[in-house]
């Protein structure tokens, strides 16, 4: 027996998330079907986390156990030969049989992209949140600082996936306008790294920062700034006090650290 660790990139547009689902296409099921074609074995591919329908990955990590004697390099080439073009194996390696992509992960990093240019660019509509109006980036940057550190992030958790604790440690957060691509509009890029994430946590944070950026940009008597800060939201542990959950297609899993 050998355990193969794979790093995967995928466009989540056509899939109903990572996890295998009845009668709906998923990343996990697609990988498992193609491994079956290569080895003749039914195996479970365990990912570092479950991305939702429409969410993308620049580096998802997964592992599976096999009796096959094929090398990781051969697995990588073979899988890329069978897989659809919107899923690619970036790297493959052997790891101890005890390796678990979720339990052994030290941190994960996500990116969220927002197109606040008016009008929005239709070419990238499946790869970023086409926002309805311009956002105030300095206000978003200032608010994002309060996410750093160890906190109870219950206010950014969508109900439906119970956790033993809602305390997480955010080790890095940034908000900036991405201007380094001649082919894309100047997108807003939010990046967050933490030792773990609650269900829809990144999307809730992105939605909250967008709300703050909206209110700060308007600055009129009829649209006053958001009366509650991110610090107060965290202290409240109340989901209803935070902003909306941003749509899934702007979200990317970009790194998993072990």
CA 115-111-25 angle, 5° bins: 90
Residues designated as active site: 52
Per the structure block, which two tokens stand in for 40? 């003749």
Task: Round to whole Å and give the CA distance between 81 and 37.
Answer: 11
Task: Round to whole Å and give the CA distance between 231 and 240.
Answer: 14
Task: Round to whole Å and give the CA distance between 87 and 83.
Answer: 6
**Dihedral of CA 234/239/244/250: which sign?**
positive
Strand residues in 96-186 grouped as ranges (E): 107-115, 129-130, 149-152, 167-178
């Amino acid at each position: 027996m050998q355990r193969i660790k794979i790093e995967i990139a995928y466009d989540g547009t056509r899939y109903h998330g990572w996890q295998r689902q009845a009668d709906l296409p998923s990343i996990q099921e697609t990988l498992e079907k193609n491994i079956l074609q290569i080895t003749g074995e039914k195996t479970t591919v365990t990912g570092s986390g479950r991305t939702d329908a429409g969410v993308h990955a620049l580096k998802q990590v997964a592992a599976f156990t096999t009796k096959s004697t094929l090398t990781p390099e051969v697995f990588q080439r073979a899988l890329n030969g069978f897989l659809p073009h919107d899923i690619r194996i970036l790297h493959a390696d052997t790891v101890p049989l005890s390796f678990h992509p979720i339990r052994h992960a030290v941190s994960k990093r996500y990116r969220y992209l927002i197109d606040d240019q008016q009008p929005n660019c239709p070419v990238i509509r499946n790869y970023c949140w086409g926002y309805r109006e311009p956002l105030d980036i300095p206000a978003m940057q200032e608010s994002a600082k309060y996410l750093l550190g160890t906190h109870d992030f219950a206010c950014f958790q969508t109900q439906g996936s119970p956790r033993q604790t809602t305390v997480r440690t955010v080790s890095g957060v940034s908000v900036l306008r991405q201007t380094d691509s001649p082919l894309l509009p100047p997108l807003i890029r939010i990046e967050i790294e933490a030792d773990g994430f609650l269900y829809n946590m990144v999307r809730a944070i992105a939605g909250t920062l967008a709300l703050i950026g909206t209110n700060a940009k308007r600055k009129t008597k009829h649209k006053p700034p958001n009366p509650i800060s991110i610090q107060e939201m965290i202290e409240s542990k109340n989901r209803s006090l935070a902003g909306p959950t941003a749509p899934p297609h702007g979200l990317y899993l970009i790194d998993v650290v072990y």
